[in-house]
Amino acid sequence: DGGITQSPKYLFRKEGQNVTLSCEQNLNHDAMYWYRQDPGQGLRLIYYSQIVNDFQKGDIAEGYSVSREKKESFPLTVTSAQKNPTAFYLCATERRAEGTGSRNQPQHFGDGTRLSIL
């Protein structure tokens, strides 16, 4: 989607190294998400944030960390504790709605970062 920028498009990590993936948005959306995509496994949720300075673990948070210091930015750090980091990482945003209106909101995705191990 226009308005969500993920960088870099390709990233290489050496063993024992931490790397940070960038996600920036200008859609003024409150919520932001990080997903991991592996072949044949769909998307799995790593972390999400519904508001600045707050975030929650998703289904596969081990070996990852995030911060949400600004509404526009939600960087993901892949730490050396993540033993199998090779994957396609997708950032998504969402306009929050009150109460049950949240269930109807779509998520908007960036173009992803492909991380590989050297």
Partner 1 sequence: GDSVTQMEGPVTLSEEAFLTINCTYTATGYPSLFWYVQYPGEGLQLLLKATKADDKGSNKGFEATYRKETTSFHLEKGSVQVSDSAVYFCAPRFSGGSNYKLTFGKGTLLTVNP
Cα–Cα distance measured from residue 16 to residue 48, given in angstroms and rounded to the nearest whole number: 25
Cα–Cα distance measured from residue 47 to residue 79, given in angstroms and rounded to the nearest whole number: 14
Q: Binding to partner 1 by residue 2, rule CB under 8 A?
A: no
What's the closest the beta carbon of residue 16 comes to partner 1, in angstroms?
Answer: 29
Count, residues near partner 1 per rule CB under 8 A: 21
Measured CA to CA in angstroms, residue 112 lies from 4, 8, 99, 101 at distances of 10, 9, 30, 27
Q: Binding to partner 1 by residue 1, rule CB under 8 A?
A: yes
Q: Binding to partner 1 by residue 52, rule CB under 8 A?
A: no
Q: Binding to partner 1 by residue 26, rule CB under 8 A?
A: no
